[in-house]
Amino acid sequence: MREIKVAVLLGGTSPERDVSIISGKYVTQGLREAGYIVKPIDPALGINQPENEEELFISAIRETPPTEEELARYSNKNVIECINSYLFDDIDVVFIILHGKWGEDGTVQALLDLRGIKYTGSGVLASAIGIDKNMSKIVFKHHGVQTPDWFVIRKNKIDIKEIQRKIEKTFSYPCVVKPNDQGSTVGLTVVKCPEEVEPAIELAFKYSDLILVEDFIEGKELTVGILGNMALPVIEIIPKGGIYDYYHKYTKGATEYIVPAEIPEKWSTALKEQALIAFESIGCKGFARVDFRVKENGEIYCLEINTIPGMTGTSLVPKAARAAGIEFPELVDKIVKLALEK
Ligand SMILES: Nc1ncnc2c1ncn2[C@@H]1O[C@H](COP(=O)(O)OP(=O)(O)O)[C@@H](O)[C@H]1O
Ligand SMILES: [Mg+2]
């Protein structure tokens, strides 16, 4: 068979840009090991891609996401120009490994649909719902996937006193305030008392025009990767101190991961079942990762679905796949094959 040409889309314009670059570096290597011809492309650079692909990559993810000023160097106009350019003329399939807005949210998927080029993972609608935590939770609830109680606040309707009253009337403190469509725990606060509500809301609104106030679920942090139509072994996440924030997600040694999770068999069966329902209810394709919290009594709460989960060497889906006997090159190969079947 003729060799298959894959473009790996990495980087992008969201605060998860650095994570995406590292994911993209690993995906590029893995696909080459699997025998594909691979062209890594950062759409945020437009059509001016460096001649030496090494210039696309960074060596490590920093402790904090890129600043607003750093991100201002990249534009979505570049993304449109890039995807609409000759760079994709000879590409058989695109491996999208952009995380967050303008990549994981259906926009890049729509551009590729318009160009008639196949791509990995979920389509436009599932991507758009998946990035929208509020919409995802509505769909989860409808399909019997339990999710923490929540309400939303819109940017033009902020009344702090009213919000504090609402929290006290519903799930009380601690609660979680987070942007509706941001990943990597960026803009998220665990709010412990009424005084903390205002700063938490201000922070979350920096990242999104819609924010979620959610019941805080005390318990274990567990996540389930999905590949094709199969749930991978459950992973338990234990951040060493504090919550599972940007620092704990991307700093080596800051978090302990147990895979397969040492939990009762009943829990892991239920988690895998719930993860698959969550995946299917939204209409996801190819791969994804579903994040959960589980109370001591075994009650499961789905936090969100990630339609383009991290794929760095230390990321969770690759770890779970490895526990299932699937090494990284085989994992990315399977994801591409699923895309070509579409
Ligand atoms: N309702 C909640 N209860 C307890 N912890 C939460 C809750 N929501 C979020 N968290 C913590 O914050 C992290 C990030 O939240 P999540 O909803 O998965 O958003 P994202 O990963 O997209 O930033 C979770 O992994 C968890 O540690
Ligand atoms: Mg998450």
Tens digit of pLDDT at every position of the chain (342 positions) = 579 999 999 999 998 999 999 999 999 999 999 999 999 999 999 999 999 999 999 888 888 889 889 998 999 999 999 999 999 999 999 999 999 999 999 999 999 999 999 999 999 999 999 999 999 999 999 999 999 999 999 988 789 999 999 999 999 999 999 999 987 788 999 999 999 999 999 999 998 999 999 999 999 999 999 999 999 999 999 999 878 888 888 888 899 999 999 999 999 999 999 999 999 999 999 999 999 999 999 999 999 999 999 998 789 999 999 999 999 999 999 999 999 997
Q: What is the pLDDT of residues 56-66, one digit of tens each?
A: 998 888 888 89
Element (H or E) spanning 119, and its range? strand 118-119
Q: Indicate which atom in ligand 1 lies nearest the CA of residue 216.
A: 3
Rounded CA gap, 302 and 290, in Å?
7
Q: Which residue has the least CA distance to atom 2 on ligand 1?
A: 216
What is the CA(275)–ligand 2 centre distance, in A? Answer: 13
Q: What is the pLDDT of residues 134-163, one digit of tens each?
A: 999 999 999 999 999 999 999 887 899 999
Query: What long-range pairs does 241-245 form, CB within 8 A, spacing at least 24?
Result: 243/185, 243/188, 243/190, 244/185, 245/185, 245/188
Beta pairing partners, 154: 210
Sheet containing 150-154: which strands, arranged edge to edge?
150-154, 210-215, 175-179, 189-191
And the tokens for 133? 């935590």
SS3 225: strand
Element (H or E) spanning 110, and its range? helix 107-115
What is the CA(192)–ligand 2 centre distance, in A? Answer: 20
The answer to whether the CB of 260 falls within 8 A of the CB of 233 is yes
* Contacts of residue 167, Cβ cutoff 8 Å, sequence gap at least 6: 173, 175, 191, 194, 197, 213
- Domains annotated on the chain, with CATH: 5-120 (3.40.50.20), 131-146+218-327+336-341 (3.30.470.20), 150-215 (3.30.1490.20)
DSSP string of 176-208, one letter each residue: EEEETT--TTTT-EEE-SGGGHHHHHHHHHTT-
Counting ligand 1 atoms within 8 A of each CB, the residue from 140, 152, 176, 220 with the most, and so the one to mutate, is 176
What is the CA(33)–ligand 2 centre distance, in A? Answer: 29
What is the CA(46)–ligand 1 centre distance, in A? Answer: 33
Neighbours of 138 (CB within 10 A): 13
The answer to whether the CB of 298 falls within 8 A of the CB of 267 is yes
Angle at 193 between CA 190 and CA 198, to 5 degrees: 75
Q: Indicate which atom in ligand 1 lies nearest the CA of residue 215.
A: 1
Q: Taken in order 303, 125, 22, 312, is the CA torsion positive or negative?
A: positive
Report the candidate in 276, 4, 278, 288 with the shortest Cα–Cα distance to residue 118. Answer: 4
Name residue 194's amino acid: P
- Please provide residue 22's backbone torsions phi and psi, each rounded to the nearest 5 degrees: -70, -45
Q: Which residues have a catalytic role annotated?
A: 16, 184, 250, 289, 291, 304, 306, 310
Give the residues surrounding ligand 1 with Cβ less than 6 Å away.
Answer: 148, 176, 183-185, 188, 214-217, 221, 243-244, 291, 293, 303-304
Rounded CA gap, 24 and 21, in Å?
5
Q: Which residue has the least CA distance to atom 7 on ligand 1?
A: 216
Exposed, middle or buried: residue 331 (CB in 10 Å: 0-12, 13-18, 19+)? Answer: buried
Neighbours of 278 (CB within 10 A): 26
Report the candidate in 31, 154, 12, 129 with the shortest Cα–Cα distance to residue 74. Answer: 12
What is the CA(231)–ligand 1 centre distance, in A? Answer: 21
Counting ligand 1 atoms within 8 A of each CB, the residue from 151, 185, 294, 301 with the most, and so the one to mutate, is 185
Rounded CA gap, 31 and 23, in Å?
12
The half-sphere exposure of 50 on its side-chain side, counting CA atoms within 13 A, is 9
Q: Indicate which atom in ligand 1 lies nearest the CA of residue 221.
A: 27
Q: What is the pTM of this model?
A: 0.95
* Contacts of residue 195, Cβ cutoff 8 Å, sequence gap at least 6: none
Ligand nearest to the CA of 212: 1
